[in-house]
Structure 1
Amino acid sequence: MAATPASGEQEEEVCLWSWGAGTEGQLATGTLEDQFLPQRITSLPAISHIACGGAHAIALTGDGKVWTWGRGTKGQLGHEEMNNCLKPRVVKLLESFFVSDVAAGWNHSGFVTDTGRLFMCGDGSFGQLGTGNNESHSSPIEISFSDATHVEQVACGMRHSIALVKDASSSGDLVYGFGAGRHGQIGKPATRSSYLPMVVPGLENCSIADVCANGDQSAALTSNGQLYTWGRGFGGSSGSHIPQLLTSPLRFSKVVLGWNHALLIADGDTYILGGDHHGMLASAPKSQQASSPSSDDSSAIPNLRKVPGLDGEKAICIAAGAEHSALVTEHGTVMTWGWGEHGQLGLGNSCDQTCPQALDISYNGPFASSQFRVYCGSGFTFLAKLPS
């Protein structure tokens, strides 16, 4: 819980909104309905981060506590049961730890402690929990690495997981993959599954700042702004189990993945990479687009271009769902586009959008745009005003 304010101080108001698919409780509204407009949520303490999965969400508070809600039928909520949960509940089995990072996949979850320990729960059918078997777990279970390993971060895709670790025996960072590997997303040649964490080749000498996963894709961002991707491949490009460097003069500072697209920030500009299913990619003038690859051209380079329609505003936060996108600009404008069937764009309808659309978020009071963060699940979205 947030600390109790001292006498004479006023506790900072918690501001959280959700919208989109809600039929499994993932919006934390206490109902099982889709919401086409942002709904104010008041059932959580002050949070520092949210991870959104297929139909569940995980909130991390500033004091290292974890809250989960939504679909729990595979045990992904960590509540020692396999039931949905309409309202956020604290994960009691992690209360003795300070959790520093969380991730949500389609039906599984990951938690990293400040001491470098990794816990997983949920669906293990494809080995995505890294336990050595395909069993599912309804409570967090610790994943074994070497004694010299310090886990820094975890990322969860559809049915696979990626872990960033610091290893005292290695000169650089190591990235591990486990779970479904048919498209190369765990860093192994096309294979059905790997039940134990295996080192992703080709990144051993890189300084990794961030890892992410979604769908059948994985990515790593280096500390000098280079992007490596592996897995299914974007926009008609062939997939690869070996991380592929995106050849570009740009130096990226942030990357997020959808199922078939990626959003990136470089020097304050927002770029998009991948296909155009459901209009999830912003349209661009033909002069800015590369020729569309034919269906049998597996060597085509993915199309990377700026996201139009931002009117010169720079993005400070980006998020990607299965097939929709969201961002917050430097002036605090929240914008969404892409697949809208369940209201996940927050525009009051179920229409797809091919260009960013500004949302009307009602909030009374002063704020700094840097306090706002947006998070996307498969077909739902959260917006949070973080403590200053």
Structure 2
Amino acid sequence: GVVFTSVGKFAPSLVNIGANSYGQLGQGHAEDQSLPRLSNTAALPNGAVVREVTGGGGHSVVVTENGEVFVCGQNSKGQLGLGHNTDVLTLQVCSSLSKRVTKVACGWDFTLLLSDCGQLLACGSNTFGQLGVGEFICSSSVCFQSLKEPVVSVAAGLRHSLAVTESSCVYQWGTGLFSQAKRAVSSNPVPSHLNSKVPSLVPGLDQKAFMVTAGSAHCVCLTDGDLFMWGSNKHGQLTSTEPFLFCPTLLKRSLLGGEKAVKMWSGWTHTVVQTESGKVFTWGRGNYGQLGRVASTSQNAEQQSAGPLAEGGRQEARLPAEVKVLCGATQVVLAVQQIK
């Protein structure tokens, strides 16, 4: 992955490590890297400040403070928004954008971009309707016409998308969750928001939404201090005893020590939340160590260890427990506060 970092008085830089089969590390080649290296940022303007870095199955997107977007990696579905389908091995500016971009979300092979005026753009694969434009297929950025008001938060899963509008409504599109939902619901119809190729209002939220995030097949929504979750619970990422939740379900604050949730992240099959006091809780799949702690099978949250990861603890945690982390698809990064 590509990591944004800033140290002391030095300008922000990009450090990369890991899989690079499609050139998603932006180094000009397609060889994996086992050691951290500075990214090739020649395409970025002098003095450019990186605001955000995110990535999909094989592509990376960098957003600067000025709202410019730079992309590299796999582009077979047009997910880089460059107007062609050729992979790109070094960062290139996405010149087709006429708006300043403030937020990007990457699915497996598609990209969602949110402009500073709340306009939502999308590019890449639309096989499952994850672009929200019906059956239309393209290889350059497309403006959503079906959302009639500005968007304030956006998220992308494996093959589904989420957005929060200015009026705090949550919309979902993309049929990536349909097959799991169909198995869970048996003979009854699957709710429309799980089987729509255009934005569909998510039912059951009785609080104003501020933010959404998505795992490969699950969804999380943040309101004023509360979390609502739905989708696949195969690895305990929703804390439920049910295998699939069709509509938003409230997470009890008692599972977060009675505190309000203020930030959240999703990995592929795990969930990360930060509370008002700065504590960070993780739960879900832990067999790759992505929870940053021992993943206990205990149903008592107090019995779930938040200590160093042990070899035998790489399993699943179906209840939150505290640990200081940041979140990747299957990784976490420990956060250390410097005392001056």
User: Smaller-chain TM-score range?
Assistant: 0.7 to 0.9
Q: Indicate the larger mover: 237-246 or 74-83.
A: 237-246
| In 2: Cα distance, 1:99 partner to 1:238 partner | 37
TM-score (norm 2): 0.79
Shift, 1:196, TM fit: 0.6
Q: What is aligned with 1:338?
A: none
The CA deviation string for residues 119-158 of structure 1, in whole angstroms up to 9 with x for no partner, is 100000000000011x4321001111354x1111211100
Q: 1:175 aligned to 170, 176, 179, which one? A: 170
| In 1: Cα distance, 2:106 partner to 2:262 partner | 22
Shift, 1:166, TM fit: 1.5
| In 2: Cα distance, 1:19 partner to 1:237 partner | 37
Q: Does 1:58 align with 2:58?
A: no
Q: What is aligned with 1:93?
A: 96
Shift, 1:302, TM fit: 2.5
| In 1: Cα distance, 2:87 partner to 2:14 partner | 21
Q: Is residue 110–residue 154 contact of structure 1 (8 Å, CA) maintained in 2? A: yes
Q: What is aligned with 2:286?
A: 276
| In 2: Cα distance, 1:190 partner to 1:259 partner | 23
Q: What is aligned with 1:38?
A: 36
| In 1: Cα distance, 2:145 partner to 2:193 partner | 22
Q: Is residue 215–residue 259 contact of structure 1 (8 Å, CA) maintained in 2? A: yes
Shift, 1:246, TM fit: 0.8
Q: Is residue 78–residue 139 contact of structure 1 (8 Å, CA) maintained in 2? A: yes
Q: What is aligned with 1:241?
A: 246
| In 2: Cα distance, 1:227 partner to 1:19 partner | 32
Q: What is aligned with 1:229?
A: 229
- Is the alpha carbon distance of 1:284 and 1:217 closer, same or farther for their aligned partners in structure 2, counting shifts above 3 Å? closer
Q: What is aligned with 1:142?
A: 143
The CA deviation string for residues 12-54 of structure 1, in whole angstroms up to 9 with x for no partner, is 6341101111111111122211111211114144211112211
| In 2: Cα distance, 1:190 partner to 1:154 partner | 19
Q: What is aligned with 1:214?
A: 215
Q: Is residue 74–residue 136 contact of structure 1 (8 Å, CA) maintained in 2? A: no
| In 2: Cα distance, 1:191 partner to 1:271 partner | 28
Equivalent position amino acid for 1:306 in 2:
E
TM-score (norm 1): 0.70
Q: Is residue 283–residue 317 contact of structure 2 (8 Å, CA) maintained in 1? A: no
The CA deviation string for residues 251-275 of structure 1, in whole angstroms up to 9 with x for no partner, is 1222111122111212222211113
**1:298-313, aligned counterparts within 5 Å?**
302-307=318-323
Q: 1:289 aligned to 276, 300, 304, which one? A: 304
Q: CA RMSD in A?
A: 2.6
Shift, 1:227, TM fit: 0.9
**Relative contact order: is structure 1 or structure 2 higher (C-alpha 8 Å, sep ≥ 6)?**
1
Q: Is residue 134–residue 198 contact of structure 2 (8 Å, CA) maintained in 1? A: yes
- Is the alpha carbon distance of 1:198 and 1:13 closer, same or farther for their aligned partners in structure 2, counting shifts above 3 Å? same
| In 1: Cα distance, 2:212 partner to 2:201 partner | 14
Q: How many residues align?
A: 293
* Bigger proportion of residues as strand: 1
Q: 2:332 aligned to 305, 325, 335, which one? A: 325
Q: What is aligned with 1:151?
A: 151
| In 1: Cα distance, 2:220 partner to 2:200 partner | 16
The CA deviation string for residues 257-310 of structure 1, in whole angstroms up to 9 with x for no partner, is 1122111212222211113233333215777239xxxxxxxxx99321123xxx
- Is the alpha carbon distance of 1:130 and 1:260 closer, same or farther for their aligned partners in structure 2, counting shifts above 3 Å? same
Equivalent position amino acid for 1:166 in 2:
E
| In 2: Cα distance, 1:244 partner to 1:36 partner | 40
Q: What is aligned with 1:265?
A: 274
Q: What is aligned with 1:250?
A: 259
Structure 1 unaligned spans of 5+: 1-10, 168-172, 291-299, 308-314, 333-367, 369-388
Equivalent position amino acid for 1:13 in 2:
A
| In 2: Cα distance, 1:226 partner to 1:140 partner | 33
- Is the alpha carbon distance of 1:207 and 1:220 closer, same or farther for their aligned partners in structure 2, counting shifts above 3 Å? same
Shift, 1:101, TM fit: 1.4
Q: Is residue 294–residue 304 contact of structure 2 (8 Å, CA) maintained in 1? A: no
